[in-house]
Chain A
Amino acid sequence: MAKPDTGDLRDIPVEKIDRNKENPRVVFRQEELDELTESIRNYGVLVPVSVYKKQGRYVLIDGERRWLCSLKLNRHTIPALVQEPPSPLENLLLMFNIHALREQWDLFTIALKLPKVIDLLRAELQREPNEIELSAKTGLSRSAIRRSRLLVELPEKYKMRLLEELHKPPSQQKLSEDFFIEMERALKTVQRAQPSIIQDLNKARDVLIEKYTSDKIKNLVSLRLIPKIARAENVGADESSAQKALKKLFQKNSYSAEEAFDDTVSEAYSEKAVLTRIDALLEKLDQFDPDDLDDELREKLRTLIDKASRLLEGNE
């Protein structure tokens, strides 16, 4: 792989530089560019861009924003490290490593280029690269790769919608990458656990997007309730009422994920949570000798016995 530290540092004409078509970064927010423009206007380009030579011109490896701002400022030259031309895979991976390790990219921009990395790696390895290999090559965590895959598998119209949102400042984004990731996770779980519920996946997506943008689904945590409803059987809840609730949830109405959860599996999950805690408590109590108990603990245990007894008597 071409190494950034072996580059030849020189001032090169801004006009002779072309953007790298493989640059995964496609979103440049205006505010960020404006800030950088002001900085370059005042202090110049302090960190050289990285380029390689191609047919008498230069192709960017790193520094697209600095180059864009220099173009806007009508600067004639820019300091650059001129490197050896990389192979297509090196070209992609170099940028992944430079950017992913140095600054926070929008995950979606990474997701869009990940299939190409996988293709090139497949060709090189003569087999499907696994997640560990992808992680090692790109410098991305395995969870980032998994999340990227969810985004890249989105249908085109949702990708466009997300891209539109990403061009806005984060505070103005109605739909985030996290929303799409949570939504896809929820829908995948529903499809696996309740295959008959979703007939038209895009319609279900549209409904969830509409409910989220109109605050009927209040936050991303609410989306995590949907898989729990789909797995009603796991907690011994009534599966048919869960199915009815899910069907209602995936229709255009004001029915929220919270309501669906409360109507179906809320109690079952509460019970499960109590059971888990009781198991943990019992296990912990086994570790105590009667002599170890202080007054406060004794008092709490008595309260626990009283409450449990009252509950059990009431049940009988």
Chain B
Amino acid sequence: MTFRALAPQLHSTALAARAYFHSEHGATGFVVEEAFAKNSNYVTTFTAKLADHYAVCIEVRDKAYATALDEFVVECITASLPVKLYVAMPTGAGSYKEFKDDLLCARRRGVGIVEVDNAGGTVLNPAVSLSLAGLRRVRPLDYPQKIRQALRDAENTFLMGDPPKGCGNVYDLIENLTRALARKMSTNGMWPTAPNFNFDADPWQNIMDHVQKNANFQIVRGVCPDLKPPLFAQVCGIIPNRNESGHRPKTRAQLKSRDEKLKTRFETACDLLRDLILAVRPLRIRC
């Protein structure tokens, strides 16, 4: 293995990093000092493939982060490239003065940090796929206190490797809220023609379709001015996504496309949840 750009004192760290990512992350197809994409603006020490079709770019350095990586991160985020970027540094190298700042910097950008030596490695900060890292973050104060933790967990699940499940968790919150809303509307006369639904068990889609079509929005407007038909249309629109079985992407292109889609879905679902909560507030429905 020949390194051209890597400083000689880091060669052993690079070899340790390669061994660690191969054995612990199952990375294969290591390429040394070649650009991830033809016109990429930065060349990391290694590029390899992970079993889930993500690429892992490993930059071997003696420090946790450097602004030199910023442009590469931005490029990957902008192009939604399914890449996990790790900085591998020698074990114990994190004792320098600015390490905390660098760690924070890396965390904010979704860049992983791992300490490696011949005995193995320790992840100090897990990497987020840069195709997901540009996610618009949840603002906890926009939501009731009771669901903030659930939302935070959903976001972490989304970013830390299972985006379909992260989306699913937000959909769960929307489903719980809208089922409770439907029950309340049927008992409050806002939905006079409501069939005898089992609001906990009947298909969500059926309930929402019926509400959207048959609710008396004149009555609804008097109680909840913001609870309008388009909001129900949006709920109906996400239900197929909620029910979509998560097929695993078979290629990197599929992965890229899926991540782009899921990022939008996650953000849209969070927005919808926030709007619904605001709209149903007069009904005092528990989330």
User: Is A167 located at the chain interface by the 8 A CB criterion?
Assistant: yes
User: Is A72 located at the chain interface by the 8 A CB criterion?
Assistant: yes
**Which residues of A are found within 8 Å of B4, using beta-carbon distances?**
19, 68, 71
Residues from 88 to 136 in B contacting A, C-beta threshold 8 Å: 96
Give a binary string over A6-25; 1 marks a CB under 8 Å from any B CB, 0 the rest.
00000000000001000000
Give a binary string over A109-151; 1 marks a CB under 8 Å from any B CB, 0 the rest.
0000000000000000000000000000000000000000000
Q: How far is the CA of A37 from the CA of B70 in the complex (A)?
A: 12
User: Is B71 located at the chain interface by the 8 A CB criterion?
Assistant: yes
Instruction: Name the contact of A72 in the complex, choosing from B8, B39, B68 (C-beta under 8 A).
Output: B68
User: Is A38 located at the chain interface by the 8 A CB criterion?
Assistant: yes
The SS class assigned to the B binding surface is loop
Q: Given the known inter-chain contacts A28-B7, A163-B9, A172-B96, please indicate yes or no for A71 contacting B33, CB distance below 8 A.
A: yes
Q: How far is the CA of A39 from the CA of B175 in the complex (A)?
A: 52
Least CB distance, B146 to chain A, in whole angstroms: 46
Q: How far is the CA of A30 from the CA of B68 in the complex (A)?
A: 11
Q: How far is the CA of A68 from the CA of B140 in the complex (A)?
A: 44
Q: Given the known inter-chain contacts A28-B7, A38-B67, A38-B68, please indicate yes or no for A167 contacting B41, CB distance below 8 A.
A: no
User: Is A267 located at the chain interface by the 8 A CB criterion?
Assistant: no
Are B40's CB and A74's CB within 8 A? yes
Please list the 6 inter-chain residue pairs (A to B) with the smallest Cβ-Cβ separation, ordered nearest first.
Answer: A74-B35, A71-B5, A34-B68, A37-B68, A34-B66, A167-B9
Q: Which residues of A contact B (CB under 8 A)?
A: 19, 26, 28, 30, 34, 37-38, 41, 68, 71-74, 163-164, 167, 172
A and B contact pairs by CB, cutoff 8 A, 27 listed: A26-B8, A28-B7, A30-B62, A30-B63, A30-B66, A34-B66, A34-B68, A38-B67, A41-B41, A41-B71, A68-B4, A68-B5, A71-B4, A71-B5, A71-B33, A72-B43, A72-B68, A73-B41, A73-B42, A74-B35, A74-B39, A74-B42, A164-B9, A167-B7, A167-B9, A167-B62, A172-B96
